[in-house]
Structures are given as C-alpha cells and as structure tokens.
Amino acid sequence: MDERILIIGGTGLLGHYLVNQAKDMFKVYSTYLTHKPKNEEINYYKLDKRCPSTVKKVFTQIKPNIVIDASVYGTVEYCETHPVETREVNVYGTINIIKECYLNNCRLVFISTDWVFDGNASRLYTELDAVKPINEYGKQKAAIENMLSFALENYAIVRTAVIYGWSHTVRRTNYTEYVIDQLKNRKEVKALINEYETPTYAKSLAIAILALSKTTYCGIFHVVGKSCVNRCELALAIAEVFGLNKDLIKPATLSEFNFVAKRPRYTCLDTAKVQSLINFKPLDIHTGLTLMRDETNGHN
Ligand SMILES: NC(=O)c1ccc[n+]([C@@H]2O[C@H](COP(=O)([O-])OP(=O)(O)OC[C@H]3O[C@@H](n4cnc5c(N)ncnc54)[C@H](OP(=O)(O)O)[C@@H]3O)[C@@H](O)[C@H]2O)c1
C-alpha cells in the first residue's frame, strides 16, 4: 500500500468505481470539480484541469506514483456544439496533467473511447487499427492519444465504450440508468438499431484499469465487454435483467434522432491483447447487468 494513486475525475461514473476498487490496493487520492463526495476514507482535492497552477499544486502535495485520468467535460453532442469550450478541458486541460506526469515521473493511464474510429469496419477493431474520428469528441480523444505517445514513456491508453453502472452523482445519467428510469415510469424508449458498440460494466472496467496501472505495459489497450450490440439489444437486455416491460422499447434508426454529432456505425473493440496481458475476462451484457443489479450499494 505504499503506492500513491491519483484519480482525476474520481467523482464520475467510472471514477467512483475506480476509487472504490483502488482503496484496498493503493493509497488513494481523488479529485472532484463540482461534487465533493462524503466519503471520509478517501482524500478528495478540488481540481480544475484547465488551471496549470492548481494541477501543479495537487501533484506537489500528493506526489503520486500513478495517475488515472477518468475525467471528461461534455457529452458527445455538447462537444460537437461547443468545441472550443470542451477542448479547453479535454485537450488543453489534459496537457496540464501530462506535463505534471512528465515532471513528476509518474505513470499515466488515460481513458479514451471506441469513437476514435470511424465505424466503417466489419470486424472488431484492434489496437493496431488506424484512428479516424468523425466527431469532435473522438477528435479530442485522438489528439491526446497521439500526443501521449510522444510526451511520456510510461503511459497506458485505455479505450472503452458505453460504460454502465450506478452513477453516484447527479451530473450525468448513463444509458442503462436512463432506460431503467424510463421503463419504471412506463415511458417509451426509442432505441437505435444501426449503431454497434461493446458496452462495458464499470466495475469490471475499473478492475482492469487498476491492474494495468500496476504494470509497466505501455501503449493502447482495448477494455470493453464481450457483447457487440446495438442500443436496442442493450435496452432489451436491461429490461430482461431488471424485470421491466420490453414492449416499451421501440427500435429506431439514426434518421429518427436529431443528433448534431456524426455517429460511427460500428465500433466494437477486440480485447484479445488485454485478455492475454492481465487476465481480463470480458463480460457479456447479461452477466454485467446482473452484477450491476445485484450490487449491494446500487440504487435498486
Ligand atoms: N460514459 C461512457 O459511456 C464512456 C464511453 C467511452 C469512454 N468514456 C470515457 O471514460 C471516462 C469516464 O467517463 P464517465 O462517463 O465516467 O465521466 P463522467 O461521469 O461524466 O464524469 C466526468 C468527471 O470529470 C470531472 N471533470 C469535469 N470537468 C473537469 C475539469 N475541468 N477538471 C477536472 N475534472 C473535471 C467531473 O467532476 P465533477 O463531477 O466533480 O464535476 C467528473 O468526475 C472519460 O474519459 C470518458 O470520455 C466514457
């Protein structure tokens, strides 16, 4: 327990699971921006990535060995409509973190997305495939991925997708919670059929990220669930596992939504690399959703 881990964005959906899983493995420090949790076991520091002097101060105080950046600002749609504002955090703010990792000689694990790909493949994407983002969110992530390979020697990029689990702040409800709420309130869910991804249970993702953070492996790692599904198939699985009414789920195509950001059609990821390196076992959506449902500290 001598290693000190700093989790940036520890109050987010993934961040919350990272903090909880890390506390038996490391001395854990977490940052928050707007929501300071009431968890006295963890040292929380207020940090805005955009402010280099605050970032420097937090690094100087904590002296972390490992940093996980699980923060993000804005949804995919918000990034598209507010590119300058979101780049300030997601690109320039992240550069402040990279700089301090370089100066303090710490390992950085950066959380990226399946949406660095254009979605035109007809097979699972591997870490060797070329990135070609088609929206602003993907471009921001790809910019940092590219920079990391030049800036640091000790880093890992973890690409993941459609994270599900219980969110412990009011900031952003994830897709699974949205579907549960809608169905519980007997409201319809319009679910996309022409966009495929590999949804990922937050707890299993957090365990894999922490395992990777303890290694010296450098480069890109795909960490996602096993099922390559569209949102309609995911919504149906949610209804099944949570015992909700499937008839309220209505299949829909992209043209029925007014999304501003372009959306890749197929970005399912191959996890063979990470399975062989850290004994990661990707979960199918039924298994992951059942584990989520049965979490003792969940909201159900
Ligand atoms: N959710 C998904 O389905 C998904 C899919 C693929 C990849 N990812 C990536 O996985 C990571 C975690 O996503 P998530 O859904 O868990 O995020 P989230 O729930 O939206 O949480 C975002 C976190 O970022 C923090 N934050 C926002 N602006 C900040 C700033 N200026 N400085 C420092 N911290 C700031 C927030 O702090 P406060 O809450 O305290 O304000 C919060 O802790 C992100 O990198 C995301 O891009 C997510």
Please list the pLDDT of the chain residue by residue as tens digits (300 residues). Answer: 689 999 999 999 999 999 999 999 999 999 999 988 887 788 999 999 999 999 999 999 999 999 999 999 999 999 999 999 999 999 999 999 999 999 999 999 999 999 999 999 999 999 999 999 999 999 999 999 999 999 999 999 999 999 999 987 666 679 999 999 999 999 999 999 999 999 999 999 999 999 999 999 999 999 999 999 999 999 999 999 999 999 999 999 999 999 999 999 999 999 999 999 998 999 999 999 999 999 975 443
Q: Pocket around ligand 1: residues whose beta carbon is below 6 Å from it? A: 9, 11-15, 31-35, 47-50, 70-73, 89, 93, 111, 113, 160-163, 169, 171-172, 174
**Token code pair at residue 250:** 């209505």
For residue 163, the ligand 1 atom closest to its alpha carbon is 3
> How many Cβ atoms sit within 10 Å of the Cβ of residue 150?
7
Q: How far is CA 186 from the centre of its chain?
A: 29
Residue pair 298/180 in contact by the 8 Å Cβ criterion: no
Query: What pLDDT does residue 300 have?
Result: 36
Q: Which atom of ligand 1 is nearest to the CA of 49?
A: 32
Q: Determine the residue of 7, 30, 33 to mutate for testing ligand 1's pocket, defined as the one with the most ligand atoms within 8 A of the Cβ atom.
A: 33
In terms of CATH, what superfamily is 4-231+258-293?
Answer: NAD(P)-binding Rossmann-like Domain (3.40.50.720)
| pLDDT on residue 172 | 66
User: How many A from CA of 239 to the centre of ligand 1?
Assistant: 26
Q: What φ, ψ does residue 25 adopt, rounded to 5°?
A: -110, -30
Per-residue burial over 188-211, b = 16 or more CB atoms within 10 Å of its CB, e = otherwise: ebebbeebbbbbbbbbbbbbbbbb
Is the Cβ–Cβ distance between 241 and 185 less than 8 Å?
Answer: no
